[in-house]
Structure 1
Amino acid sequence: MQRLLKHSCRWSTLFYHRAFIHDSSSTARMGVPFTFDDSKALDYFNQWRRSFWLAPGDWKTTSVTLTRRFLPCWSFSLKGSAYAEAYVKRGSWLLGGTEWHALADQVTLPNVDLSDINVYAAHNYDRQHIVEIDMKLNDTLQSIDVSSLNNDIIEEWTIDRDTAFEIGWDLVIVNEIQNLSIKNLTEHKKDEYRITSIRFRTENEIQKLVYFPVYTVDYQYGNRQFQCLINGRTGKVAGSRQISRLKITAILMGVIYPACIMSLISIVTFVIYAATQRFVAIPIGLLAIGLTLPFVTISSLIFGRYAQDYSHLYRGKRDIREWLDFKKQNPHFFTDKHFDARQTSETFTRQRTQETKSTYSLEVGPDFYQILGVSRVASNTAIKQAYLLKVKEFHPDRNVGNKEIEEKFKLINQAYAILSDPEQRQLFDTYGYEHVKYK
């Protein structure tokens, strides 16, 4: 299989052989267990929020609700060789400016081993927070018996394997290869380098759908709901910290106000002394206090209010923004993949029917053609193009918190899974939704 990706400033090609590892049982999932109980998880969270000295005092004692969850992740391990083209920076801005010059020889990285690349396979939780708790599969996977657990503790995946690989490739793998290439170059000569092209020839790829233990911490502060995540293995916490408006305002007043007064006194005193040869610092100082106090106070209060709302306004979507920006520049969202048609159909159908639950509860199910906006005689190419446009339009990361969009996104993926499979599409056309919906 060959994958060709065009980046905003680079071409990247990936050749690889894929191996898919997944438990076929419908009641057992592979994952890693929790290493501590709810009481210890609460201790980790309390230590985390008390360590932040800018936090308001009442937030540190706010009651919270803990929930044990197993989050789905597609885990990838890649082995192969990478080749990169690079530019080196020459010159100095002090001596006429700098220029980038292409290196004559490409960077060769033999025996590249990228393991434990884990991509969150759903949209219910903040992806940046999941990155921050550092989910690593350091231990042997164990079977998680779904029948013995509360149904709510297992989160069903909504991002298929190939989409997860695209996310991992764009956000993790490319960066890893770039870092390895630059490290290789700087070992020979300490210069500033820029990687412009990457070719990764992979001899082996292992994929696993695994479930990672996480505690979700939900609490209400003020009139808003917040959520934090705790790594169920290490106890690492990630989430939105609360910031005290009073503390921020006091710090700003203590730093900015004296600086403003001294600056104004110095400037006005210098101007008057230059014009009259008289030194009148005391009257000018009193005037400066009167002029700067209202301005600095109002500015500090406004900034303090913003700082208080920062954890709510900022969703930590840096990686997702980079991914979406890349996809805007590259319209081939899933790229052109050259699969064996029969193997692809069987694999994609199997992973869907094994894992995904129905998201439509009515007896008269959805019209998949209408969801994708295509006719019933549309070709496979037209269906794929319509699907790519729909997933970009209704992606949950572009519509954070919109449950209706999330459900629509699930139906779009479901529609493509059915209509892209000739056998499933024929069943849908002949017998309707009831004969193809996920079990």
Structure 2
Amino acid sequence: MSVTAIESDATRDNLRLLISLRWLAVAGQIAAIGLVHLWLGISLPLAEMGLVVLFLVGLNLVSLHRALSAVEVTQTELGIELLLDVAALTLQLYLSGGATNPFISLFLLQVILGAVLLAPPMAWVIVLVTSLSFIWLTHFYRPIDFGTHAGGHHHGERTFFDLHVQGMFLCFILASVLAVAFVTRITSNLRRRDAHLAEARRRAAEEEHIVRIGLLASGAAHELGTPLATLSVILNDWQHMPRFRDDPAFAEELAEMQTEIGRCKSIVSHILMVAGEARAEEAQRSPLSDFLDEMVESWVQSRRPSALDYANATSKGAAITGDGVIQQALFNVLDNALEASPAGISVRAAEEGEDLVIRVTDQGPGFAPSALAQLGRPFQSSKGEAGRGLGLFLTINVLRKLGGDIEAGNLQGGGAFVELRLPLEALAVDYADVA
């Protein structure tokens, strides 16, 4: 996931949080209006205040639709939403006493939201707008008709003061609860965003590391081509020399050396073919079942394990592109299993839904907890040798490029397992019968 996408997801989460807070504001306004009008008997312009509440409900429905859409949510859009909330609060205060209304301190909650949610320029806009609204409400507002609560001057003044203090207390409780709840949720969103950003940066660093490995491998393959060709020519000359040709022991060793030189050439050619590419251009099309059989057979011939329990339950119906990168990813897992369990390993291949699943198990000591926690990190190896620990790292990144996944763990009876999962659509050419 890109950094831009992560930022967009965090902004979308903040918009959802703002929607939740606005629903609370709507419920709180309805409750406050009902309490003041019905219980305290104070006359309020219910029609106008009701229209403001309906505006907030409509704004929330639009915001909810926006939050559920796939279009990116921007900081500017979030800032406009907060400005509309400030406008609605200003109208409600205008209709209910202006700056004399104790709930005017809710402007401070809007400022807090702006400071937490928005970039500094937009946050200062919220500060400016709320300040101007406060100043405007000190001069322009509709006074509250206290009716019987203002019977005598002293008694009315005392009643107004009591109501004002009680309103300030309710406003303080409401603002405190909303601020703590909101800031706590926002902090959680920010922590989740920072974790996603850290993971994206780690993956970018790993991919850069793979590019460097590919360049080094390609360069080494080019450099090794010439000495391998020279060695092949020399061995060929020796095979035709009478002193070596007539000696069966020398002839056998020379033939074996030529075989190993040929294998080295094949490995070099393979590196040049796949270095720096997620899928080799020369990839061959073959049935899934045959491709897996050939891969395992090639590994057996080169590694010669003591025992291999292999079962292939895949079909021949899916024609896949069997390139060297996928083969090398499987070879890395098989090599690690064989090192941990020289007595033998088990390989199971099957199709589960739309995925190809290959499970490799061994009878070794299993993974250490620290190894499982650092699974797939470069140079994380229990072998204690420099340069080790790249096998699973490269395998995981190959699977990730193809949309797959890897799982590893320890078995209850001893030993360990590594399970590779690849979507067939990432491998398949078509599903025509190619058998």
Structure whose residues are more often helix by fraction: 2
Say yes or no: TM over 0.5. no
Greater RCO structure (CA 8 Å; 6+ sep)? 1
Q: TM-score, normalised by structure 2?
A: 0.21
Rg bigger for which structure?
Answer: 2
Structure whose residues are more often strand by fraction: 1
